Amino acid sequence: MKKKLLLATLVCTVTASLAWADINVGVSVSATGPAASLGIPEKNTFALMPTSIAGQKINYIVLDDASDTTKAVTNAKKLTSEDKVDALLGSTTTPNSLAMIDVAAESETPMISMAASSKIIEPMDAKRRWVFKTPQNDAQMAIAIAEHMARAGIKSVAFIGFNDAYGEGWWGEFSKAAEANKIKVVGNERYNRSDQSVTGQVLKLMSANPEAVLIAGSGTPSATPAVGLKEKGYKGIIYQTHGVANNDFLRVGGKDVEGTWLPAGPVLVATQLPDSNPLKKSALEYIAKYEAAYGAGSVSTFGAHAWDAGLLLANAVPIALKKAKPGTKEFRAALRDALEMTKEVHGAHGVFNMSATDHLGFDKRAAVMVKIENNKWKLAQ
C-alpha cells in the first residue's frame, strides 16, 4: 500500500513538473568568503526579481560558491546537469566566472556573469558565445580614471592594488590607460585584503612622490591604504575604483577618504542624476525595491549588477518563449540568441546594446566620476 502511494506521488510530481515546465534560472554567487561583501547584496537582489515573465513562472535556484573557483564549477555543473536550468547567472568574481564558462558552453546554457573583467567576454570565441556580463569592464573604468587625471593636469601617479586577480587586472588596464593619457606611473605596490598594516607600501609610494595615487581594491579593505596615506601626511589626490562603492566604505574610511575620486555606475548617485539622464528612472527603481526590502541605506552597486542580469533575462525570455519550450536545448539556444539581440535595455548601471561581438554593450553613459564630499557620494558635474 505504502509503495503504491509513493509511486502515485512520484507520478503526480513528474507529470506536474512536465505540465508546468517552469523556467529555471540557476544562480551561483559568492555569499561567503573573501568576496562576500559583493555576493551578499547580489544574493539579496535575487529575492526581489520577478517570479514570472510573460506568464511563465520563474524559479531561481541560488547557490553559494564561497568565493571558491572549484565550488563555482561544481555549482554550475549541478545546476546544468541536475536542475537542467535554462540560464546560468554568476558568479560574483572574475576567477569564478572564468571557470564557469566551460560548463556553460558544454551544456549550451546561456550564462550572465556579474564580475568585472573584460576577459570573461573577450576575445569572442565558440565558448564565450554563451557568456554575457553586466558590470562595466575594468578597461572602461580605468580609461575614465586616466582621462579624469589628465583633465586635472596630473603628470605622475602611483598604483597600489589587491594582491590578487582584481589588483592584477586593474594594473594591466590602468597602466595602459595611463600611458595613453601621457601620465607617468611611478609606483606599483600590492597588499592583501586582510593586512593589518600597509605602512611599508605607503612609505614606498610616497618616496616616489606621485601627484596622485590609485587604490585598486574592493569594499572596506580599500580604505586601509587611504587611511595609511593620510596618516603619513600624503597631500596628493587619491583615486579609488568602483569596487569601493558601498556605504560600509564610507563608514570605515570616515574623514580619511574625504576628497577621494572614483568612477562608478550611475546607480551610486542616482538621485543626483539630471532628469534628462536615461538611467535615472531604472536606477531609482532598483534602489526603491532594494531599500523597501532591506532598509534605508542598505543598497550597493554590486546588487545592481545582479538586478541588471535579471532585466536582461526578462527582456530576452519572451522572445525565446515564442521559439521553444523552457527546459529544452532549443529554448536555451533561443534565449542566447535573444540575449545577443538585446537593444536599449535600461539597467541600473547603463544602457545595454549587445551585438555578436560585444556581450556587455555599455557605452560611456555607464560610468560617471564621483567624489566623496562630507562622507557622501557626490556626482561630479
Tell me how far apart the alpha carbons of residues 334 and 319 are, in angstroms, rounded to a whole number: 8
> Alpha-carbon distance 54 to 229, whole Å?
53
Least distance CB 170 / another protein (angstroms): 14
Provide, rounded to whole angstroms, the least separation between the CB of residue 159 and another protein: 11
Instruction: Choose the stretch contacting another protein; rule: CB under 8 A; options: 21-29, 34-42, 138-146, 234-242.
Output: 34-42
Beta pairing class for 156-162 and 131-133: unpaired
Taking CB under 8 A as the rule, does residue 196 contact another protein?
yes
Candidates 194, 233, 190, 234; CA nearest to 215 is 190
CA nearest to 136, candidates 369, 374, 376: 369
Q: Is 28 a binder of another protein (CB under 8 A)?
A: no
What is the rounded distance in angstroms from the CA atom of residue 140 to the CA atom of residue 122?
14
The H or E element spanning position 23 is strand 23-29
Rounded to a whole number of angstroms, the minimum distance from the CB of residue 168 to another protein is: 9
Q: Of 1-9, 77-85, 215-223, 332-340, which part binds another protein (CB under 8 A)?
A: 215-223
What one-letter code names the amino acid at 133? Answer: K
Smaller CB distance to another protein: residue 137 or 241? Answer: 241
- DSSP codes, 146-201: HHHHHHTT--EEEEEEESSHHHHHHHHHHHHHHHHTT-EEEEEEEE-TT-S--HHH
Whole-number minimum distance, CB 48 to another protein, in Å?
19
Q: What is the DSSP string of 59-118?
A: EEEEEE-TT-HHHHHHHHHHHHHTS--SEEEE-SSHHHHHHHHHHHHHTT--EEE----G
**Contact string 131-160 vs another protein (x = CB under 8 A):** -----------------------------x
Which grid cell sits at 195?
A: 593586512
Binding mask 240-259 for another protein (x = CB under 8 A): ------x-x--xx-x-----
End-to-end CA distance of the chain: give it in Å, rounded.
Answer: 75
Q: Does 37 bind another protein (CB under 8 A)?
A: yes
Q: Could you tell me which stretch among 43-51, 198-206, 344-352, 357-365 binds another protein (CB under 8 A)?
A: 198-206
Indicate the pairing of strand 156-162 with strand 212-216. parallel
Q: 358 and 129 in contact (C-beta within 8 Å)?
A: no
Told to check if 219 binds another protein by CB under 8 A, we report: yes
CB nearer another protein, residue 163 or residue 181: 163
- Least separation in angstroms between CB 167 and another protein: 9
* Residue from 86, 189, 308, 340 binding another protein (CB under 8 A): 189
From 19-27, 32-40, 90-98, 339-347, span contacting another protein (CB under 8 A): 32-40
From candidates 197, 209, 355, 357, binder to another protein by CB under 8 A:
197
| Dist. CA 332–CA 329, nearest whole Å | 5
Choosing from 203, 288, 292, 380, the residue that interacts with another protein (CB under 8 A) is: 203
For the beta carbon of residue 133, count every other beta carbon within 10 angstroms: 26
Residue nearer to another protein on the CB measure, 155 or 255 = 255
Which of 161/347 has CB closer to another protein? 161
**Of the two residues 197 and 328, which places its CB atom closer to another protein in the complex?**
197
Residue 190 in contact with another protein, rule: CB under 8 A:
yes
Contact residues for another protein, defined by CB under 8 A: 32, 34, 36-37, 39-40, 160, 163, 189-201, 203-204, 207, 219-221, 223-224, 232, 246, 248, 251-252, 254
